[in-house]
Every structure is written in C-alpha cells, then in structure tokens.
Amino acid sequence: MLHAIIQYFATRHFLTNFLVLIVFVGGIFSWNNTSKEEMPDITFNTVRINVRYPGAPAEDVEYFVTEPIEEQIRGLDGIYRITSTSSVASSSISVEIEPDYPDLDELITEIRNEVFSVELPDEILDQPTIRVFKTSRKAIIDVGIIHNGTHLLDVPTRMELQRYAKALEDQLLSLSQVNSINKSGYLQEEIQVKLDPEKLVKYKIPFNTIKKTIQSNHIRQPAGSVETGLEPKVTLLSEFNTVEKLNEVIIQGGFEGGVIRLDEVGEVVEAYEKNETVTKINGHEGVMFSVVKNSSYGIIEALDAVTAAVEKFKRTTLIESPVELVLLDDESVDIRNRLNLISMNGLMGFVLILITLFIFLNVRSAIWVAMGIPFTFCFTMICLYYFGYTINGTTLSAVIIVMGMIVDDAIVVAENISRMWQKGIDRTEAVIEGTKYVLLPIIASITTTCIAFVPLFYFKGRFGEEIKFIPPVIFMMLGASLFESILILPAHMNLHIPFITRKVIKDVSKKKRRHWFVYVEELYGFLLKYVLWLKPLVFAGFVLLLIWAADVASKNFKFVMFPQEETREISISGEAPAGSTRTETAVMTKQIEDIVAQYLGHEVIGFRNSIASGRGGSSSEDNKFRIIIEILPKEKRVKSADQLIAEMREQLGDNHKFSKLKFAKSRWRQASGSPIELNVQQNDDAKRALIVQELKTRMEAYPALYNVEIDEGLRIPEYRVHIDQEKIKRLSIDPADISSTLRGALEGSILYEFQKEDQDVVVRITTLEEAKSDIENILDLPIENQGDYLVPLRDIVMFKTVEVPSSIYRRDLKRTTLMYADIKPNSGKTPLEVAQYLEDNVFPEFLSKYPTTTFSFTGEVQDTRESEAELIKAIILTLFLIYSLLAILFSSMMKPFIIMLAIPFGVVGIIIVFWLHHKTLFGFYAAVGALGLAGVVINDSIVMLVKFEDDFDKKLPWKHSFRQIADIAKTRLCAVVLTTVTTVAGVLPTAYGFAGYDPTLADMMLALAWGLSFGTVITLVLVPCVYSLEKDFIYFFKMIRRKLCRDYE
C-alpha cells in the first residue's frame, strides 16, 4: 500500500508541482487574511463585577454591596475563589472559576442572574457591570491627552482639554476596529448648586426645600397636541440647564414680595465631579484613553487604524493648539517584534540551513530539501486559517521552535535516496525504495516529537491557557513536513532538470571524485571501531559526566517562573510628607517628572504618574504616587534599565522632600512588579494591622529582602452621626429628611441630568467648599418637621470621630492585607526560597499567637509552584508516552532505553551551556524547551537504531560485530549530523537574538539548540556502544547456555 502511494506521487510530477503551487498560493492568502494578535483568543476564567455607590465609605460599600453579592454567588458550583475591593463609592469583585469547569458560559449566566437579584441600596442608580475577560477584546493602546501649557488643570483648561478629548473619542469610536474606550482622568461635567449654610439659617430655608423646589420647577414634558388641522404639539418647557437660569430660580416668595432667589443663598458654578486620583502624562495632568479593539479585527490592523486616526486628528484638529496626544502601552509592539523576529531570524536560519544543505548534500538534494521550509510554512498557514487560529506570539513561538526541525525528515529521505543513486540503482527505483526504507523511523521520530509537546495541553492557569496553542501548531508543521518528505520530495528528486541531472549522472557514472563527507564518514567509522573496544570505559565516562552535571545543577541551578530579563517599564513610587494633599503631591512629583522628561524621544517613550492610587487601582493616601516609565525595547536603546535608574537617582540626589522613594524595574508578566506578594487574612482589623507591622519588621530583618511594603488603603477619619430617636419622635421629624440633608450637604445630591453637545451634564446640589471643611457648619442646617417648624441638625443628632479604611480588600470572604517585597539582586535567593523560609521560620510564630490568621502567597510564587508541579508531571508523562511508543514500534523493552539515553545526556548539554552562559536561574520557558528536546533528541537515535536492526548480520562471527556496527553507523552519520546542524542553525539566531531578542524564546531556543547538539554526540558514540554491549550480552549469554547444555549432555 505504502509502496503504491509513494510510487504514484513519485511519478506524477504535474500533480506534485500543482499541489506545491496551490499550497504556496493558499499560504500567502491565509497569511494576509489571518488576524495578527498579541495573544491567542482566550476567555479567562475570571468574572469582574463592578458596582458604584456614590458617597458611601468603604465599610458601607462592603456591608451593603460587596458582602451581599459575595454571599449570593459563593454557593454556585464551579466557583474557585472570590476576591473583592470595597473602596469609597465603589465595589469591585473578582470571581475566579474552576479551571476545568465544563460549562463556562452557563456559570457566567448564573453569576449574572444572581448579581442582578441582589437588593442594593436605592442610592445606587446604575446597574452592576459584569465583565468576562477575553484576550480578543482588550485595550490595545493608551492615548494620553495633555495641555502643554498647564501642569495641573483648572476648570477652564479642563473644559478645553475635555472638549478635544470628546472630539477624539467620537472619531475613534467611529472606527469599526474599535469596540470601546475606557477613560481615566476624564471627569463628568456638572453644574453645582453650592448653598451657604449661614444664609440658609438666616433665611430659615431648609436644604431639602431648595432641593425640591429646583426639581419640581425643572420641567420638560409633552402635554399633547392642539386639535386643529396640523395638530401642533404642546410641550411644557421650564428647563434649568444654565448657570443663569438656575440663579433666577425663586426659592421663597409670595404676594407680599420678599422674593429670595437661588443666587441669594449660594452660588451656581460650572464644575466637574470630584476626582479621587490625579492622572499625569509626561508631567502634565490629563486624560487617558484605553482603546479596546473589536474582537473581529487583529491587533495590528486595529492599531494601524487607531494611530492613523490619531495622526489625522493631530493634523486637522490640533493645529496651533496647546493640546498634545501621547501614545503609550502599544500592545502591538510584542507581536510586531515577534513577527520581525521570525522573519529576520527565520531568514537567517533558512540561509544557514541552505548553506549547510549545499555543503553536506548534492545540488539536487539541497534545493529540494530546502523547498520543504516554505512549503511547510504555507501549509501551516492554511491550517491556521482553516481552524480559526490567529497569528500571535504563542503560535509564532511554535513556528520558531520547529523552524529547524521541518527539514529533518526531508534530509533523511534525500540522503538515503542519494546514497542509493551512488550505488547505481535506477533513479525512480532509488526514489521509491529510498523513501520507503526510512518511512518507519521518520514516522516514529515525528510521533515522539509530537508526544513531547502533548503535556503542554495539561498546564493550568493563565499561562497554561496560552501554551495550549503551541502543540497544535507544532503538529501542523510536522505533519506538513511529513507529507512533503514522503510524497512531494520523492517526486522532486525524481524530476528531470537538465543541468542538475547531467551533473548528478556525471558524478555517479564517472565516479571521478567522492563527496568530501565520505572521508568524514570513513574517519568516523575508523575511530568508532576503536571506541567500541573501550565501550565499558566510554559508558562509565558518560555516566560520570551525567553525575557531575546533576551535581552542578543541584548546587547552582534554581527554578524561577519568569526570565530575569529587563522588561520595558521602570517604576518610581514614593510618598510625599504625611498630610500632603493630592495637589501638593502632584506639585512635588514635578521634580522627578522633569528628570524623566529629559529622556523623552531617546530611551523613554513616555511616562504616567498616578497620585492617590493603589497598586490595584483603588484609592490610596493622597501623599502616595507611582510613576510608570515606558522605555524602548532593549535592542533599540544604548542604556540599560539599570543605567537609567542609576542616572535618574543620581540627578535627583538627596535634595528632595519625599519621605519614601523607590526605583524598580517591572518584572516579567507580574503586574505588581514585586516577586513576593503575600496575603494576610484576618477579619479583625486591629489584629491584622498589628500582624502586618510585626511581619514587616521580620521581613526587613531577612537579609535577602528589601522594599517591604504594606499595601493598605488610606485610613481616613469618619464622623459617625447618631440620631436622637427620642427627640425626633417628640419633634415629629422624619429620619429620611435628616439623611437626605446630610448626604446632600456633604456628598451632594444629583437633581437631574440634561444633554449638552451629546454629553450628559449633571446638576448637583451641595454646600460651599468652606462649609464642608468643618462638620459644625453642616450641623447648623435647619430641618423642617411635620408642623413646618425648623430645627437645627445639631439639636437632634450627635457624632463621634473614628478612623476607617478607605478601601477593604477581601479574599475568600475574609478581610485581607497585601504585602509586597523585592529580593536583593545579589542575594542568590529565588522567590520560592524566600517563600519557603517565611513559611518554615516566620509564619509558625505568628500562627501560634494569632491562630485565626491565614498567610498565602500569590503572584510569582504561586505561579512558580503550580508550574513546577505541572512540569514534573509533564516530564513523567512525556517519558512514559515516548517509551510506550518506542516499545510498541520495536517490540522490545530494551531498545527504547537505548534510544532514550539521548534524553538525559541532552539535558547534560543544557546544564553545561546554561552554566557557561551564567544562566543559573532556569525559567519556565527554558523548561518547555527542555521538554521539547526530549522528543527531538531521540530522533537521530531512532534512525540509527533502525539502521542497526535492519543491517546487522547476526550470522557473522562475534569478532566482526564491532566492524559491522561501525560500518552501519557511518552510513547514518550524514543524516544525523545534518539534521542536527540544520535544527541548530534554525534556532541559534533566535537563541542569541542576532536580529532581535525575545527573552521567552531565547532561553527555550538555547536549551533546544545545545541540548540537541550534545544529544547528537550521544547518538553517534554512546548509542553504538550500548547497542554493542547488548549484542555482547546476548552473545555471552548464548555461549554460557551452550556450555551448560554440553555439560548437561
């Protein structure tokens, strides 16, 4: 059957050439029509619930919003963890779903239904927002809008800035590529009615009376139509939508005169909603747009459309304007870099492979083997397009991983066909028989390579979801390589091309000169015969090398989750002196911003400063700030991140007034930027505060740690007002009037909204700013009872002052404080080692004193532990599957062991090269490379052992076995060396970043390249030795059995 299929394709040149043409055209079409994304299309098992409760303190938000929602959803099947942050005026709840939950959509619907069924306070006007995280619908770029002439925005400047921002938003949202825009620093426009408590007391007008008067007189209502021919409509219109109209509202008056208008008891001003944080971009307060793309468009296509719209807006709308647009956090940079990486490094690898092929093979073989690379790539692109995959960082990683492997099968086939030609076999017969002869080892090799990547399907968590896309792409490419090698390549090798055919026939018929590698083969065979005589010593030497490498690894190598490469961000965080306001902090940080601004256009792309904002986005102390500096990629700047930090620190010097200041590089794929993230869970606030302070002292005393932080929300004073129930009963005062007066006077009450130039404008009633500075002023406000008498608030209420948190973080329904710490660069400690030290030596002491407290690590420590466990399982599964497959193929329990000897010694190669490169921190991606190596490194061993099994003549005397093994092994030398060299040539440019550096791929490719190189040495030396040892044992066992039989007779 196989003979017939190979023969059919080998003799149908038009068919094979037409198939190649279709694949090339289809590959180009698929490339142009497949979306380019930063990440695969993943729906993460996380649901975010946000609720806004205006004016409510964090404890009230927790009590009235967060806790009821948590209790409502906690009993649903499939919920893994619930975390929440209750801040002033808002609740944010994150629900993590079990990784393997079967029906994600159904559970999300249940969560949505349960949330909407919770009875929330009447003051919450907006419905809870529920969002499911999908990578296909994410923010792709941030657009900052700043006013060059202003450091901090006042009302007129903000009005001008937000007018431009609104115009830009409308243009961006008109793009089909844009789904939505998340805004920060953009404030709701308001008309604020600010009442003077002293005048309210003077004129004896209750706060609620003014509120009701304005609301009842603001009317826009259709009244019907007049019954005439045209039936004209009648609309009752009495709108207060300007400052002037509101000023003229009559609050009190009658027939006797004495009219009191609104402007007599307060002032009406155009203003903006209260801003809890300050957002600065490149040193100027401004507005930040996070542009979210439409899921039906790729990130590059969407980014190109957005940047084109921004540039057009600059050219047309912003001419001679002080407003400037700043582009930050371009999410397409990584995918563009990786596309450039695969094109440049891939091209370099292709050239190296081509050169190698021409050196080792004849012209015909080299050309047709090299043709397999574009064929395989195009075939894979067709498959990606057909199965709905995107071109993203993960799928491109898979392409780079197998870039050098895809010609391995073609090399084995072409080399075997060429060898048969040299023996004088007919060209067509050589093509068919040469292909059929190596078909089984090729299929076995590809299968074992695929098996090595199968465990990547079973990794869990966020990274597991990403790397699950690597194996299918590898399977597609290797499948395409197999198809090309056994069906297309034989036909091309049998194709008549005059100038190539004449040269090959001339070389074969005249035999005037032999290929240079024949001499290498003969030298290898000659040396191998002597090595086989010393095989016990050779085997012992390799075992000692293995022991030495294991010792080096155990003493020097440490596993970390992420590469210790610098990323593209530097952070500067700190605190102004205690008691500083947000504005004062913003002014102080200008000193740092001016230093950073010197690097704009050189090493720095841009920077942003968040004041009074915690790491997770919650409100924080007004004196805290965090500056995020976006720097150019490593290969595009002269100075390293460490150099930039040193220079900035030196320029700032000690002449500053900040009480705390910290410079840091962001860590790979860790939002917090710190390797140690610790949760301290305890519902008793006083105990928890004491615990984290004691724990901070202990952690600071540990030599490996520094920058220990407690990420706790600002503790703010709160006046707790209590109503005198006896008095309000006696005076016939409605408690609701007390509540609405207090809330309106302090937070403000929204009277109504109206449209102004397509934007909602809120009319809010409150009191003057100076009145809010002292609660005593508010307590003078009069309250009207049911008998129309006025009673001052202070006569019916009492208050006390307490301190409460501005935000409350909960994890699994328990109040939690987050702690962060950095590891000193020269400490030699990994996050896992630090976590283990704390768990073994520190936490037990605290648990004995505070048994209801829970300590847990998240972030890098948690990810590393989960990945480490999954890696161990993956290694065991890979070795088991490879062994099982080889045992079935060879019908032997011993042969798989011989073949798999290359795996541990391939790992020896990784240990040696990482040790020589001073890469003693072994990352997750390097481990994935080592895992893939297990399937690749044995391919040559399979080819070698199959050749031994087929050609070894058991009838010859034992004394000829060494010569036999050496002669057989040398016939596989070209295929083994060439497949290794081409694979290494394909990945080395990526490993060393010759045309662009990617830290995730670099370690992976380094492990694959050098592990395979060392594994090849094992294939060429140790495999023949072990095979010879096996034959020796069999021979001596037969000799002993014969002797015993003769003695018995």
Amino acid letter for position 711:
D
Domain with CATH 1.20.1640.10 in the chain: 2-37+335-561+865-1041
Q: Euclidean distance between the first and final Cα of the chain, in Å?
A: 50
The answer to whether 380 and 480 are in contact (CB under 8 A) is yes
Question: Which tokens in the block code for residue 633?
Answer: 């990629």
Question: What are the start-end ranges of the H helices in 937-1021?
Answer: 939-951, 961-991, 999-1017
Instruction: Please give the pLDDT value at position 566.
Output: 60
> Distance between CA 73 and CA 116 in Å, rounded?
11
Q: What CATH topology corresponds to 43-134? A: Alpha-Beta Plaits (3.30.70)
Q: What one-character DSSP code corresponds to residue 667?
A: P
C-alpha distances (whole Å) from 471 to each of 171, 447, 485, 927 are 41, 12, 21, 15
Task: Return d(Cα 263, Cα 112) in angstroms, integer.
Answer: 46
Q: What is the CA radius of gyration of the chain?
A: 37
User: What are 908's two structure tokens?
Assistant: 């020896």
Helix (H, G, I), strand (E, B) or coil at 493: helix
Beta pairing, strands 921-922 & 558-559: parallel
Q: Which residues of the chain have pLDDT under 50?
A: 499-500, 504, 508-512, 616-618
Q: Among 570, 554, 560, 405, which Cα is nearest to 474's?
A: 405
Where does residue 249 fall: left (phi above 0), alpha (psi -120 to 50 degrees), or beta otherwise?
beta
C-beta of residue 866 within 8 angstroms of C-beta of residue 461? yes
> How high is the pLDDT of residue 630?
92
> What is the CB-side half-sphere exposure of residue 421 using CA atoms within 13 A?
28
Contact at 8 Å (CB) between 286 and 145? yes
Give the pLDDT confidence score for residue 512 in this predicted structure: 46
Distance (Å, rounded) from C-alpha 777 to C-alpha 771? 6
Neighbouring CB atoms inside 10 A of 670's CB total 17
Q: How do beta strands 569-575 and 660-665 pair?
A: antiparallel
936 phi and psi angles, rounded to 5 deg: -85, -40
The pLDDT value recorded for residue 311 is: 93
Specify the CATH number of the domain 139-275+285-330+739-784. 3.30.2090.10
pLDDT, tens digit (0-9, with 9 covering 90-100), for 611-631: 887 554 445 667 889 999 999
Task: Return the DSSP state at 563.
Answer: -
β-sheet bridge partners, residue 557? none
Give CA separation, 374 vs 350, 369, 407, 476, in Å.
10, 10, 10, 14
CATH 3.30.2090.10 residue spans of the chain: 139-275+285-330+739-784
The answer to whether the beta carbons of residues 138 and 331 sit under 8 Å apart is: yes
What Cα–Cα distance (Å) separates residue 557 from each residue in 450, 921, 1010? 28, 6, 17
Q: Say how far apart CA 120 and CA 128 lie, in whole Å.
A: 10
Q: What is the pLDDT of residue 690?
A: 93
Q: How far is CA 794 from the centre of its chain?
A: 55
Strand partners, 681: 816, 854
Q: What is the pLDDT of residue 843?
A: 93
Burial (CB count <10 Å: 0-12, 13-18, 19+), residue 545: middle
Give dist(CA 257, CA 530) in Å, integer. 124
Q: Look up the CATH superfamily of 2-37+335-561+865-1041.
A: Multidrug efflux transporter AcrB transmembrane domain (1.20.1640.10)
Q: Record the tokens describing residue 1005, joined without a space.
A: 């490719």
CATH architecture of 568-667: 2-Layer Sandwich (3.30)
CA–CA distance, 37 with 817 (Å, rounded to integer): 36
User: What is residue 511's predicted lDDT score, i.e. its pLDDT?
Assistant: 46
Measure the CA–CA gap between 615 and 859, rounded to whole angstroms.
Answer: 13
Structure confidence by residue, pLDDT tens digits, 700-753: 999 999 889 888 766 778 888 899 898 888 888 888 889 889 988 888 888 888
Torsion of CA 279, 284, 285, 291, to 10 degrees: -60
Q: CB-based burial of residue 996 (10 Å sphere; 0-12 exposed, 13-18 middle, 19+ buried)?
A: buried
Give start-end residues of each CATH 3.30.70.1430 domain in the chain: 43-134, 568-667
Question: pTM for the full model?
Answer: 0.78
C-beta of residue 327 within 8 angstroms of C-beta of residue 142: yes
454, burial (CB in 10 Å: exposed 0-12, middle 13-18, buried 19+):
middle
